[in-house]
Amino acid sequence: DAGVTQSPTHLIKTRGQQVTLRCSPKSGHDTVSWYQQALGQGPQFIFQYYEEEERQRGNFPDRFSGHQFPNYSSELNVNALLLGDSALYLCASRLAQDRVHGYTFGSGTRLTVV
């Protein structure tokens, strides 16, 4: 049973560029959330997708956008990259009706903006 898979694992981009990160949720999960984790900090909530719609959003600018596909996979897009966007980006999935278990996290994408 595959867990949450993210791609790519590492990425280096230049300021001003755009990046797309991808996530496949754990089998059986239908809800995907994205988090940004800066070095030495806890993960910060970016947004959550359920039924192909953005359901909740954290305090991130519009440069951060996302999408969820019918197979529940998701993409995170970041435009006009800033040096401060360098972080570990985590995708987490769960089953919407599951009130017992928390999110399962993927191994993350390490984004470096130079």
Partner 1 sequence: QKEVEQNSGPLSVPEGAIASLNCTYSDRGSQSFFWYRQYSGKSPELIMFIYSNGDKEDGRFTAQLNKASQYVSLLIRDSQPSDSATYLCAVNRGMTTDSWGKLQFGAGTQVVVTP
3-state secondary structure of 50: strand
Nearest C-alpha neighbor of 54 from the set 26, 74, 25: 74
Which residue of 71, 83, 84, 100 would you call a contact of partner 1, by CB under 8 A?
100
How far apart (Å, rounded) are the C-alpha atoms in residues 46 and 35?
Answer: 5
Stretch that binds partner 1, among 21-29, 69-77, 78-86, 95-103 (CB under 8 A): 95-103
Smaller CB distance to partner 1: residue 40 or 70? 40
Please report, as residue ranges, which positions from 43 to 82 form the binding site for partner 1 (by CB under 8 A).
43-45, 48, 50, 55-56, 58
How far apart (Å, rounded) are the C-alpha atoms in residues 57 and 39?
Answer: 22
Q: Are 80 and 88 in contact (CB under 8 A)?
A: no
Give least dist CB 97 to partner 1, A. 7
Please report, as residue ranges, which positions from 2 to 41 form the binding site for partner 1 (by CB under 8 A).
31, 33, 35, 40-41
Task: Please give the DSSP secondary-structure letter assigned to residue 57.
Answer: E
- Contacting residues toward partner 1, per CB under 8 A: 31, 33, 35, 40-45, 48, 50, 55-56, 58, 90, 94, 96-97, 99-108
